[in-house]
Amino acid sequence: MKWQSWTWCNPPYSEIELWLEKAAAESHMGASSVVLIPSRTDTRAFHKFAPRASRVFFVKGRLKFIDPETQRERDSAPFPSMLLEFGEKHRKTVPSVEFISWLE
């Protein structure tokens, strides 16, 4: 399935590489996407796809998710997170790296 002009993706962590491959491929066909993944810079997936991203965002702190039924905060994620943006609009030879705070 072809992605539309812009896609947000929080992939199953067991399939990160598959979704990053899709995001990278779709960016070459004009679609942009932002993928939320654990910030694990020691993985094969990070070294394969971060250089292909247009921008890399390291999130300060740990994300907290909201329980969809109770609307209450759950515990913090057990790892830091990052966002990889894929899109030709911001594409450079080397992706830009930014540090962001999420609801400080």
Q: Residue holding tokens 């899709």? A: 22
Distances (CA, A) of 27 to 8, 42, 97, 101: 13, 24, 18, 26
CA dihedral 6, 100, 11, 42 (to 10 degrees): 130
CB 48 within 8 A of CB 15: no
CB 56 within 8 A of CB 28: no
pLDDT (tens digit, 0 to 9) for every residue of the chain, 104 residues total?
787 788 899 999 899 999 999 999 999 888 899 999 999 999 999 999 999 999 999 999 888 888 889 998 888 888 999 999 998 765 666 677 878 886 65
